[in-house]
């Protein structure tokens, strides 16, 4: 016999939701006005549950007797029936068991279809727009092949359910024990609960589970929607602006709300302030938890209470049981400052060092905005004394600096003449404390002229502290001028010099001459001189001052030798000892006898200990033979006996000298100026 497939009208959604909502509960009879059901137990006596609807046993649709066998009936005209033939028997059941569908004719095979899922397939309570995936597994548990023709959504099933593969794309042949997996994705879009059916068309002879028609197995789908709960905080950030230390801002409200749907309650479990500057902010809020139904709100408040002067930042952190993981913890950025609205800072000085006349040098200084608001440096810049060779090269003005920003300023020094040059760069701006003042210092120097000769003079800057000095002490007590190149040195001791003029052999660097002026007139007037006339190899010549230590070898012995030399120095036995202390030693009131001098030398040797710190003045004369000498004056402090300091350097190239500046503890002064540190 041939039976036509029958299509049932769609089930009312509300009744279906009520029935399916009990799937997770203990079995219970569900009878609704429209006859919806889950199992046969939900139907009235004489009815069975077919495709989620209660129908009378005599109205069970079928396309094969196997559908009706569980009810002791026969498939007649598309319905299970107890009809009897005219001869009192049952209709002939020997006709081919064939079912007609819109897509064609299905011949019954011998496979057994099994649905390997718990039914209905439950998609839970999803979040709007977020897909939930389940896998429908179809298995052949028979002993022969099972032909699957299609797997499709029933006509009334929501398009929110998507199958892959779907329709005839799922057509396949399953060998015994072989399975087919169909991915079902459900994406909530309308905020309502959804039920549906997946229809599996096959040539199955029977079902492993109870089914009405093995050729068309219907798998129920279910999604329960209870609504959504999600946290929102407004505003999402806040800047309190500037506030002085020790004061407090007004309370700023922040609104917490449940932006969910239906009646799902949001629980806010925590509200706090976090961050390195959290102590600079104060939270005012009711104790948690807060229970918020959709569109309900809760207000918390924050104030800024700075205790330190700085830029401050923190976060208002709110925690809740949102369905969306991204909203389970919401952070609101808080910013504030307690420093002046705008303030610029810059180094006080910018030094260019020595720059040759006719050339220029550039140097940079950094201007920083240490305030809390933008500041603009105006155009043009100015100089206190009109420039004097200074000019600002960059950046272009006007220039705006945001808070905490900095900018490098480039200044050029182009000296117009030799000598020190000082000026002040003035930068007008629109912040407090305008203008910025930067002191500029530099020294113009003449370019190298290739001086062919050099003469260096060195002496004490002031008189020796003793009231009486002897000329002999130039060799022992006076400063020692040393000029050297490589391992060679020219000083009063070079080559065993025992006169006022000595030649110094500097090897490959040529010959220099050491001499002493006024050496017999006392240490205060004595002056050592070293001269060089440019012959010899190129190199660097160091000019040094050494405080000769004649007491280094012993307390009395070395000093006695010094004093004995006094007695024989140039035949002079001058008043080396205070006459007011030893009047008997001076028969003529001026000289002392050699015998007495030698006798009292050890006794009076302690005078060497009286030597005090002194300042040495070194003058370097450079000459090229065509004009007056160029002179540079350097001062050096020598604090104790035995100390040696480098004063300056001479560079000789191609036989010509050029002079560098002061070195180390030395400094340069103008001609005629004293050596005042």
User: Partners of 274 in the beta sheet?
Assistant: 315
The pLDDT, as a whole number, for residue 439 is 92
- Taken in order 382, 387, 390, 391, the sign of the CA dihedral is positive
User: Partners of 140 in the beta sheet?
Assistant: 113
| Chosen domain end from 445, 463, 495 | 445
C-alpha to C-alpha distance for 677 and 114, rounded to whole angstroms: 107
Which range marks the domain in which residue 427 is found?
344-445
Q: Do residues 291 and 426 share a domain?
A: no
Domain for residue 157, yes or no?
A: no
The pLDDT, as a whole number, for residue 2 is 26
> Mean pLDDT in the chain?
74
Q: Where are the beta strands (DSSP E) in 449-538?
A: 453-460, 479-485, 488-490, 501-505, 511-517, 527-532
The pLDDT, as a whole number, for residue 276 is 93
Instruction: Look up residue 582 and give its two tokens.
Output: 């030893």
The CATH number that applies at residue 239 is 2.60.40.10
Instruction: Look up residue 23 and give its two tokens.
Output: 């799937």
Domain for residue 585, yes or no?
A: yes
Q: Is the pLDDT of residue 640 over 50?
A: yes
Q: Do residues 389 and 484 share a domain?
A: no
The pLDDT, as a whole number, for residue 523 is 41
C-alpha to C-alpha distance for 442 and 353, rounded to whole angstroms: 5
Q: What is the pLDDT of residues 583-608, one digit of tens each?
A: 665 555 555 555 555 555 544 444 44
Q: How confident is the model at residue 28 (pLDDT cuts 50, 70, 90)?
A: very low
3-state secondary structure (DSSP) of residue 502: strand
The pLDDT, as a whole number, for residue 7 is 29
Domain for residue 132, yes or no?
A: no
CA atoms within 13 A on the CB side of 227: 14
Domain for residue 114, yes or no?
A: no
Q: Do residues 359 and 327 share a domain?
A: no
Domain for residue 180, yes or no?
A: no
The pLDDT, as a whole number, for residue 129 is 73
C-alpha to C-alpha distance for 565 and 559, rounded to whole angstroms: 10
pTM for the whole structure: 0.32
| Chosen domain end from 445, 466, 489 | 445
Q: What is the pLDDT of residues 112-170, one digit of tens each?
A: 999 999 988 988 777 667 788 999 999 999 999 999 999 999 988 888 899 998 888 88
Domain for residue 439, yes or no?
A: yes
The pLDDT, as a whole number, for residue 492 is 67
The pLDDT, as a whole number, for residue 520 is 46
The terminus-to-terminus CA distance of the chain in angstroms comes to 129
- The 3-class secondary structure across 78-128, one letter per residue, is CEEECCCCCCCCCCCCCCCCEEEECCEEEECCCCEEEECCCCCEECCCCCC
Q: Is the pLDDT of residue 255 over 60?
A: yes
**Conformational region of residue 577, where left means phi above 0, alpha means psi within -120 to 50, and beta covers everything else:** beta
Q: Do residues 564 and 653 share a domain?
A: yes
User: Partners of 408 in the beta sheet?
Assistant: 366
Q: Looking at the 3D structure of the chain, how many domains does it have?
A: 4
Q: How confident is the model at residue 4 (pLDDT cuts 50, 70, 90)?
A: very low
Domain for residue 197, yes or no?
A: no
Q: Do residues 390 and 326 share a domain?
A: no
| Chosen domain end from 445, 478, 494 | 445
Q: What is the pLDDT of residues 361-393, one digit of tens each?
A: 999 999 998 877 788 998 877 777 765 789 999
DSSP character string of 195-232: EEEEEEEE--SEESS--S-TTEEEEEEEE-------EE
The pLDDT, as a whole number, for residue 477 is 39
Domain for residue 406, yes or no?
A: yes
């Amino acid at each position: 016999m041939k039976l036509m497939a029958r299509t049932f009208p769609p089930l009312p959604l509300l009744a279906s939701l009520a029935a399916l909502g009990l799937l997770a509960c203990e079995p219970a009879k569900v009878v609704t006005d429209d006859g919806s059901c889950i199992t046969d137990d939900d139907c009235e006596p004489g009815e069975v549950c077919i495709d989620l609807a209660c129908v009378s046993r005599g109205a069970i649709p079928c396309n094969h007797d196997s559908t009706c066998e569980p009810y002791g009936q026969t498939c007649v005209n598309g319905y299970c029936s107890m009809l009897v033939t005219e001869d009192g028997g049952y209709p002939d059941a020997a006709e081919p068991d064939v079912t007609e569908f819109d897509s064609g004719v299905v011949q019954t095979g011998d496979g057994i279809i099994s649905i390997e899922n718990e039914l209905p397939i439950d998609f839970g309570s999803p979040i709007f727009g977020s897909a939930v995936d389940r896998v429908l597994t179809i298995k052949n548990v028979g002993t022969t092949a099972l032909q699957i023709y299609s797997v499709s959504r029933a006509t009334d099933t929501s398009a929110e359910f998507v199958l892959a593969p779907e329709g005839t794309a799922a057509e396949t042949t399953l060998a015994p024990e072989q399975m087919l997996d169909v991915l079902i994705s459900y994406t909530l879009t309308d905020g309502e609960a959804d039920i549906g059916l997946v229809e599996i068309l096959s040539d199955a002879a029977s079902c492993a589970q109870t089914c009405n028609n093995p050729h068309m197995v219907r798998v129920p789908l279910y999604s329960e929607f209870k609504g959504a709960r999600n946290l929102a905080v407004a505003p999402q950030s806040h800047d309190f602006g500037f506030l002085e230390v020790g004061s407090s801002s007004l309370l700023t409200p922040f609104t917490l709300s449940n932006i969910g749907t239906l009646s799902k309650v949001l629980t806010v479990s925590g509200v706090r302030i976090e961050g390195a500057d959290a102590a600079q902010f104060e939270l005012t809020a009711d104790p948690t938890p807060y229970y918020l139904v959709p569109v309900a709100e809760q207000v918390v408040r924050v104030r800024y209470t700075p205790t330190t002067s700085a830029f401050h930042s923190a976060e208002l952190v709110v925690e809740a049981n949102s369905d969306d993981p991204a909203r389970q913890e919401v952070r609101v950025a808080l910013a504030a400052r307690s420093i002046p609205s705008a303030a610029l800072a810059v180094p006080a000085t910018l030094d260019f060092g020595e720059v040759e006349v006719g050339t220029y040098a550039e140097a940079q200084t950094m201007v920083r905005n240490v305030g809390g608001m933008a500041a603009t440096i105006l155009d043009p810049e100015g100089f206190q004394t009109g420039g004097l060779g200074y000019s600002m090269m960059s950046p272009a003005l006007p220039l705006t600096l945001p808070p905490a920003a900095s900018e490098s300023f480039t200044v050029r020094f182009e000296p117009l003449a030799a000598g020190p040059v000082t000026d002040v760069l003035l930068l007008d701006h629109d912040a407090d404390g305008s203008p910025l003042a930067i002191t500029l210092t530099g020294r113009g120097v003449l370019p190298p002229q290739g001086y062919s000769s050099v003469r260096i003079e060195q002496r004490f800057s002031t008189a020796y502290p003793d009231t009486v000095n002897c000329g002999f002490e130039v060799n022992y007590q006076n400063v020692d001028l040393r000029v050297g190149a490589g391992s060679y040195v020219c000083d009063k001791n070079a080559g065993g010099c025992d006169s006022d003029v000595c030649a110094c052999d500097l090897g490959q660097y040529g010959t220099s001459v050491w001499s002493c002026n006024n050496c017999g007139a006392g240490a205060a007037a004595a002056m050592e001189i070293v001269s060089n006339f440019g012959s010899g190899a190129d190199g660097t010549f160091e000019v040094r001052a050494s405080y000769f230590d004649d007491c280094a070898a012993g307390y009395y012995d070395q000093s006695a030798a010094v004093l004995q030399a006094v007695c024989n120095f140039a035949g002079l036995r001058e008043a080396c000892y205070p006459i007011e202390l030893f009047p008997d030693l001076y028969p003529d009131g001026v000289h002392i006898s050699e015998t007495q001098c030698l006798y009292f030398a050890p006794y009076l040797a302690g005078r060497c200990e009286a030597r005090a710190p002194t300042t040495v003045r070194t003058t370097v004369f450079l000459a090229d033979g065509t004009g007056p000498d160029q002179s540079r004056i350097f001062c050096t402090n020598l604090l104790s006996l035995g100390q040696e300091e480098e004063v300056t350097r001479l560079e000789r190239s191609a036989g010509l000298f050029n002079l560098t500046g002061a070195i180390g503890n030395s400094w340069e002064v103008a001609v005629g100026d004293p050596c005042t540190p």
